[in-house]
Amino acid sequence: MTEILSLTPPDRPRLLDPGRPGREDLASYLATGGYPAAPAPERLVESVAAAGLRGRGGAGFPTAVKLRTLRDAPGDTVVVANGEEGEPGSVKDRWLLRHRPHTVLDGVRLAARTTGAVRGYVYLSDPQAADAVRRALLERPPTVPVDIVLTEHTYVAGEESAVVRRIDGGPALPTTKPPRPFERGVGGAPTLIANVETLARLALLTAHPDAAVAVASSHLLTLSGGPAPSVLAEAPAGTHLGTLAGHAGRGGSAAVLLGGLFGGLYGDGWAGLRLDHDELVAAGGALGCGAIHFLPPGGCPVGAAADAAGYLAAQSARQCGVCVSGTQALAGTLAALARGEGRHEDTGKLHRWSQGLTGRGACGLLDASAHIAATLLRHFPDRVRAHEDGPCPSCADAPPPDGSRLGVTVP
């Protein structure tokens, strides 16, 4: 079971609103100021830039830069609402599509108007979310044609080049870059691919311009780990991770897996870190998609790293030889360490792989696996060395690492 928690002050606009239970219909969305008159394109871009809205899919790229780039692109353009969240510990995108479909579609409308797009797509793998979006499209037909594209749920299916490839009729697998989608995307047209939370916040800040900065700086988060129920939360930027852990019943955690699998592990001092893209990157982590997995008291970071690496190895697109061999080598070595079957030279191998494999795959999956190993070695060297002589009690009692313990159900 996953619970819902809002740390956003009730006088601010928010996506997680206890006063709006259930699925949003057209009447309820209009009552909150939805589908307002669209500002002039350049004015909207300036508003987004001033508010500081950044992408919520993982990289945190400035949204205004994306909008302006597509607006200045030659010819017709396309907008894609990307709702395919491959991170096993994230549920925010599916929740938004199931419960706030009009908010997302309003964001598509505004992005299309701003960039001059002639077509839009909602890209996802969740059938319940697809049904909610279909109902919303029937309630209020869009100003530009919007199609729903279903894909299989995989870690790499939401990567931007995989999104383009699937919408164009191919498999949801990454391609080499360049070109990037903003240069040549769906059907060869310049394409804006935006995470559904990014688009929802675009709609919310447009409807509430006086609170634009607060809207742009709040985050949807998925908090998991340990015996307590998982939590879908909304919190303002600057909130300490320790505060989040306390509200989610995880105040005694010894370590965290940050930002989904891409952010890596963090040990001592994690509670003092804040929800801030730049601060987390400077600390060697990442906010990413806002998925934060807390290791319970007694939980082992070596086992958590093995679990994450095992999941990533199983999710490899198997298009790049270096990704197949690299993820399998990392996962196998970490699993052996977790079982207490590692060798003393394994630490050196993990260090070399974590440094040498980064940037060599067509997508970020290999980078994520390498970063897991690098952060384990950086923050928990003593635990790694201890595992060379045998498993700890936590790892000895754990099932084989496959990532299944990282999964979260949609509330």
| Amino acid found at 314 | A
In three-state secondary structure terms, 146 is strand
Evaluate whether 8-215 and 301-406 have a shared fold. no
Strand order in the sheet with 2-6: 2-6, 230-236, 218-224, 291-295, 255-257, 265-266
Q: What is the pLDDT of residues 124-169, one digit of tens each?
A: 999 999 999 999 999 999 999 999 999 999 999 999 999 999 999 9
How far is it between the farthest Cα atoms of the chain?
66
* pLDDT of 177 above 90: no
E strand spans, 283-380 = 291-295
- Top CATH class, 301-406: mainly alpha
State the Cα–Cα distance between residues 235 and 225, nearest whole angstrom. Answer: 18
Q: What is the pLDDT of residues 310-357, one digit of tens each?
A: 999 988 888 888 888 988 999 999 999 998 888 888 888 999 998 988
2 CB burial (10 A radius; 0-12, 13-18, 19+) = middle
- Return the bridge partners of 5, or none: 233
State the Cα–Cα distance between residues 250 and 295, nearest whole angstrom. Answer: 9
- Return the bridge partners of 37, or none: none
Bond into 178 cis (ω within 30): yes
State the Cα–Cα distance between residues 218 and 128, nearest whole angstrom. Answer: 26
Contacts of 30 (CB under 8 A, 6+ apart): none
Determine contact, residues 256/262, Cβ cutoff 8 Å.
no
Using pLDDT thresholds of 50, 70 and 90, give the confidence band for residue 390: confident
State the Cα–Cα distance between residues 108 and 83, nearest whole angstrom. Answer: 12
State the Cα–Cα distance between residues 148 and 143, nearest whole angstrom. Answer: 15
Q: Could you tell me the end-to-end alpha-carbon distance of the chain, in angstroms, rounded to an integer?
A: 7
DSSP state of 262: G
Domain coordinates of the chain in residue numbers? 8-215, 301-406
Determine contact, residues 102/70, Cβ cutoff 8 Å.
no
pTM of the model: 0.95
DSSP 118-146: EEEEEEE--HHHHHHHHHHHHHS--SS-E
CA distances 171 to 127, 167, 196, Å, are 18, 9, 21
Q: In the prediction, which pLDDT does 21 show?
A: 66
Average pLDDT, the chain: 92
Using pLDDT thresholds of 50, 70 and 90, give the confidence band for residue 274: very high
338 CB burial (10 A radius; 0-12, 13-18, 19+) = buried
Q: What kind of fold does domain 8-215 have according to CATH? A: Rossmann fold (3.40.50)
Q: What is the pLDDT of residues 215-244, one digit of tens each?
A: 999 999 999 998 889 999 999 999 999 999
